[in-house]
A and B are shown apart, each in its own frame.
Chain A
Amino acid sequence: MRGIALKHKIDWLNFLRIKEFGAVVGIVVFFVIFSFLSNRFATLDNLMNTLTMAAELGIIAIGVSMLMISGEFDLSVGAVFAVAPMVFAIMVNHNFNEYFSLFLSLSIAVGIGVINGLVTLKTGIPSFITTLGMMMFWRGILLAVTGGFPIMLARRIKMLDYLGGRVIGGLRYSAIWFLLLTIVFWFVLERTKYGNWTFATGGNLGAAKALGIPSERVKIMNFVISSILAGFAGLTTFARFKIVDPTLEQELELEAIASAVMGGTLLTGGYGSILGALIGATMISMVRNGLVLAGAPAYWYRAFIGIILIVAAVINARIRKKVAG
């Protein structure tokens, strides 16, 4: 008798051990609620819309999660999100080859990531400060270079269709990229040595170093991943709208961190999930869209997301505590 009860308990714990457990429950709950509130919600077209709306935020949240798991922050993602397409637009408008422009704009994102990493690790100041400074710097550069004007794409570029064009209905290529990148980085984090190093670096830096893990390189690499994904996300937005505003996405960095946390990633590092980031970003987008479809007063959204974030963090913390004993 006792043996069976114990076995049950173990099964239950194994279930909780799934890192995305809280996020999955959350998204299912919202899905059910909004399906009841609006008959337009659970349609294929709306789900495609929701995923597309989640794509940019989600792509960024993947990189931010990787970095957070290794124990660092990136507040400059919103600025990089605007810088990459701005560089691309200016170059293409000056008749540079579009692939070269794409390469260079992503290289700049990589460069920003490397600088974020080097400054943080070599000087020992918190990444919160480094990347906050970086965000201000690039926002300033954007304003200075453009004079505050939005930049419009001057010619048609076929390649952009594969970044942000329509696949079918409300589904866009940005959403496809979002799913692909989730799979790639899920694999990297969960199935490779590099993923293990990332967890170890964020979990216990001293132990990781003692084990001979190149923690500094891991962190710098994750700064780069976070930055390049932000740049790429910006390019997918540009691919659709063909116009880039220097003040584009001013609060994005915080929403990306919120998605990562809702997905179960710890702010302090060492624990987290890429699938969770996907679910977190989709949940944010679903709630926003669901409230509109339900006819709720639009101004309540921000308050709502704030509560969800805290509840999600509390639940995730409880689950972790239970699993750890």
Chain B
Amino acid sequence: MNQVGEAYTAWEICGNFEGALSAFILGGIFVKRLVTLLLVALLSVAAMSYTFYVVSHGGPADPFWGVVMKGVKDAATKFGVDAVYLGPEKFSLKEFIDLVNSAIVKKPDGLVVTITNPVALDEPLRKAIEMGIPVVAINVPDDRAADQKIPYLCYVGMNEYLAGVYAARRMLQEFTPKRAVIGIHEPGHAGLEARAKGIMDILGEKKIPVEKLDITTDPTKALTLLKSYLTKYPDTNAIFTLGPLGAHPAIQLVEEENLVGKVKIGAIDLTTKITDAIKKGVVVFTIDQQQYLQGYLPIVFLYLYKEFGLIPHEDVLTGPSIVDKSNVDIVEKTVQLGYR
């Protein structure tokens, strides 16, 4: 019980400490004393445990990262370590790199980072590793060749390409589509393109014609364009979507045009609308990456590494995990509890 309280205070103090530090730079003896006091308080907590920093490109406003943060917090509480989560409010590569650098400067006992841009992160992370800071990658791996890769300890996350592969395989398990279309709402987005490639490779092996369709982030356009695609190629009986912005209009289209059962949807990512549609049979399945584990596991791994030098090697995959009629009820419950 006490430990829980302590972990949370440490969490808050870290935030305050930053603010206090900047005030300190401005000068003022009173502030100086306050900082010393805070520092003592901080050290007395920190002395008993490790401090790990988690820096991601996703901010706290993003529901996806809210779940990751919960994972980090839960693991920190359980193992009695301090974990500080940093992420830019809105996606900004520069701000993200700045946060990574400021985390390294604090010389934490462990660093957890999303390798959002391997080139930009190469120098700071190699420096951190040289300094002896153990680094674990989450959510986005360094996808460069082995000899160029940043030598982090391991990667915890989903493989985007595999997500596409699993999606296609799950669809093939359901039935063999005559023709399939992939609605991509942000063409050029590396993650989405990798997912699409996974789908296309597997369907291509079976000689099933499949195409990417730029459906934009506007639901009306997405729906009309998918409809036009079905008009152009009436034998299309499978729609793949790569995120909620694709899945929601696709669900609407199939319901509006009474295509339930005739055109099957395979989705990626979880929302209430998607899980509802799975229950109604409009969507066959969706792919979840269980991002709670991307917050929880790195803390466990870093703790075990610091304590006993134990660490898993290569990639630890948290997804793709398939959600369909068989497990949708359990998944829905865990979504509400904040574990998915």
Residues of A at the B interface (CB closer than 8 Å) are 38, 40, 46, 49-50, 52-53, 55-56, 140, 143-144, 147-150, 152, 166, 170, 174, 237, 240-241, 243, 245, 247-252, 285, 288-289, 292-295, 298-299, 301-302
Contact = CB atoms under 8 A, between A and B. Distances in A.
Interface in B183-226: 187, 211-214, 216-221, 224-225
Nearest to A81: B218
A52 B61 contact: no
B221 A292 contact: no
Most chain B CB neighbours (cut-off 10 Å) among A53, A248, A288: A53
A250 B221 CA distance: 13
Contact of B90 (A140, A243, A288): A140
Given A55-B220, A289-B225, A298 B213 contact: yes
Nearest to B248: A243
B63 A148 contact: yes
A149 B228 CA distance: 29
Nearest to B62: A148
A298 B211 contact: yes
Given A293-B232, A298-B214, 15 more contacts: A38-B232, A143-B61, A147-B63, A148-B61, A148-B63, A150-B244, A237-B220, A240-B252, A247-B245, A252-B218, A285-B224, A288-B225, A289-B224, A298-B187, A298-B213
B220 A52 contact: yes
A144 B90 CA distance: 10
A241 B248 contact: yes
Given A248-B219, A250-B217, A152 B228 contact: no
B8 to A, nearest CB: 21
B64 interface: yes
Nearest to A172: B220
B175 interface: no
A258 to B, nearest CB: 14
A143 B90 contact: yes
B87 interface: no
A241 B252 contact: yes
Contacts of B231: 40, 46, 293
A48 to B, nearest CB: 10
B281 to A, nearest CB: 19
B220 A299 contact: no
B77 interface: no
B271 interface: yes
B283 to A, nearest CB: 14
Interface in B151-182: none
B273 A148 contact: no
Contacts of B213: 292, 298
A150 B62 CA distance: 11
B249 to A, nearest CB: 7
